[in-house]
Amino acid sequence: MRLLEFQAKKLFSEYGIPIPRGVLVRSKDDIGNLRFPVILKAQVPVGGRGKANAIRIAKQAEEAVAIAEELLNSNVKGWPVQALLAEEQVEIKQELFLALLIDKLANLPLIMVSTTGGIDIEEVAKKSPEKVIKKHLQPRVGLQDYIVRYLGKSIGLGDYLDGFRSIVNQVYAIFYDCDATLVEINPLAVSSNGLVALDAKILLDGKAAYRHDDLFAKLQEEQKQLVKSGKSVAEQLAEERDITYVPLDGNVGMISDGAGTGMLTLDLIQDTGGQAANFCELGGLAGPESMQRVLEVVLANPRVKVVLISLIGGLTRMDEMADGILHYLKQHGKSVPLMVRMCGTQEDVGKAKLRTVGIETFEDLETVVRTAVKLARES
C-alpha cells in the first residue's frame, strides 16, 4: 500500500522527523494562515509529480487560491486531484536523498543516501551509481551507529550529523514498527534550520495489516476519500473483495488458479489472435466461494463475450472450483459461455459436477484458449 505524501508526512511528524509546516487542502479556501511563499502539491498516489507540473509555488494568497483551484480540477497521470498539501517553502541549501527498503536480491534491508537528491535521483543512480552510497543492514543486528556515521560522512554532512542520525534512526523505526517495505525521503533538504523532509514516500506491506490494529485500514479509508481513480465497476468490486484483477482491453474474460499460469494464458490468448478482457487469479487457497465471487467480478465487465477458466490445481481443489461455478450459475444464470480447462487435485469429481450442468471441460490449455478465442470472435 502506497501512502499519500501527507499521510507519510504525518507518520514522519509522529516519529519526530522534521517536515515543513503545512495543511491539507480540499477546497481553494483551506490554505489558512501559512506563511508565504507556499508550495502546493497534488496528493495523488504516483511519482514524478514535479515533472507533471503538479507541484507549484504561490507567492501570496491570491495566487495560492488560483493555483489550488486549477490543481483541484486537474488530472495527474490519470488521477483526478482531490486534495493538495500546502506547505511553507523551505530555503534549500542542498537536496539529499535517503531511503530504506528491502533489497530483494540480497534478502536484506538496504539503506541508501546521496548528495544528489531531487527529481533526477533515478537518472543519477543509473548514470553514476557511485553517487548513491549503499549499506545493507542485518535484520537481527539492526541499525548501528557506525553505519549512520559512515553514511553521514560519505555525504559530507559535517554539522548536520546529529539531525541526520535522528532522522535515519526514525526512518528505521518507521520501517520496522509499521511493516514498511520502503521509506524514502527525496529530497531531504539541508536548510538554515537543519534537515527537513520535503517529500515522503512510504510503502506498507499489506500482508502485515493484521498486526497493526486498524492502522492500515484507517490509512486506506482516508485514501478512499481522497483518491478517485475512475475505476470500472469490475475493478471496484474486485478491490472490495480483495481479488487480484487487472483490466485489459479485450473480450475474453480470464480466470486462473495461479498467477504464472494466468500470465501464460494471457500470452497464449494474444498469440492465438485474441484479446483478454482481464487478468484474474484466485491465489493459493481458493475455495468454492472464491470462484463464485471471482466470476461475478469478471462478468461485471460488459465487454466480456466468453469466460476462459484455466485451472490446474495443486492446493486448489477441482471439486470445490466446480461447486463455485455451479453456485454462480444457480444464482446468475449463464450470460456468456464458460470455457473450463480443469486439471489437478480432485479433477474427476470436479469434471463430473460440471457435466451435470452440461459443461464439458478441456484438458489442454492451448486447445481451450483456441476455442475460447474463436468463440469470442464469432459472438
Partner 1 sequence: MAILIDTDTRVLVQGITGRVGSFQTKIMQDYGTKIAAGVTPGRGGMEVHGIPVYDFVEEALREHEVDATISFVPASFAKDAALEVIDSGIRFLVVTAEGIPDQDVLTIINYTVSKGAKVLGPDTPGLISPGKCKLGVHPHRMFTEGRVGVVSKSGALSYEVCRVLTKNGIGQSTVVGIGGGPLWGLSQQAVLKMFQEDAETEMIVLLGEVGGTTEQEAAAFIRGYMDKPVISLIAGCTAPKGAQMGHAGAIIEGEEGTAESKIRALREAGSLIAKSPSEIPTIIEKSRG
Q: How far is the CB of 13 from partner 1 (least distance, A)?
A: 23
Identity of the residue, 1 or 133, whose beta carbon is nearer to partner 1 in the bound complex: 1
Task: DSSP letter for 345, please.
Answer: T
Q: How far is the CB of 160 from partner 1 (least distance, A)?
A: 30
Q: How far is the CB of 259 from partner 1 (least distance, A)?
A: 3
Identity of the residue, 143 or 269, whose beta carbon is nearer to partner 1 in the bound complex: 269
The Cβ of residue 362 has, within 10 Å, a number of other Cβ atoms equal to: 20
Identity of the residue, 199 or 320, whose beta carbon is nearer to partner 1 in the bound complex: 320
Cβ–Cβ < 8 Å for 117, 96: yes
Cβ–Cβ < 8 Å for 334, 302: no
Query: How many residues are given for the chain?
Result: 379
Element (H, E) at 38: strand 38-42
Q: How far is the CB of 271 from partner 1 (least distance, A)?
A: 7
Identity of the residue, 91 or 267, whose beta carbon is nearer to partner 1 in the bound complex: 267
What is the CB-side half-sphere exposure of residue 340 using CA atoms within 13 A? 25
* Residues linked to residue 245 through DSSP beta bridges, in sequence order: 280
C-alpha span between 145 and 97 (Å, rounded)? 19
Q: How far is the CB of 174 from partner 1 (least distance, A)?
A: 12
Q: How far is the CB of 283 from partner 1 (least distance, A)?
A: 6
Identity of the residue, 246 or 300, whose beta carbon is nearer to partner 1 in the bound complex: 246
Identity of the residue, 55 or 365, whose beta carbon is nearer to partner 1 in the bound complex: 365
Q: How far is the CB of 363 from partner 1 (least distance, A)?
A: 9
Element (H, E) at 280: strand 278-281
Cβ–Cβ < 8 Å for 219, 203: no
Task: DSSP letter for 158, please.
Answer: G
Q: How far is the CB of 314 from partner 1 (least distance, A)?
A: 4
**Burial status of residue 149 (CB atoms within 10 A of its CB: 0-12, 13-18, 19 or more):** middle
C-alpha span between 107 and 302 (Å, rounded)? 43
- Residues contributing to the site for partner 1 (CB under 8 A): 102, 104-105, 107-109, 138-140, 176, 179, 181, 205, 207-208, 210-211, 244, 246, 248, 256-264, 266-271, 276, 279, 281, 283-285, 312-315, 343-345, 347, 365-366
Identity of the residue, 53 or 367, whose beta carbon is nearer to partner 1 in the bound complex: 367
Phi, psi of 88 (to 5 degrees): -65, 135
Phi, psi of 273 (to 5 degrees): 95, 10
C-alpha span between 217 and 206 (Å, rounded)? 10
Cβ–Cβ < 8 Å for 342, 364: no
Cβ–Cβ < 8 Å for 22, 89: no
Identity of the residue, 220 or 345, whose beta carbon is nearer to partner 1 in the bound complex: 345
Q: How far is the CB of 144 from partner 1 (least distance, A)?
A: 16
Identity of the residue, 146 or 210, whose beta carbon is nearer to partner 1 in the bound complex: 210
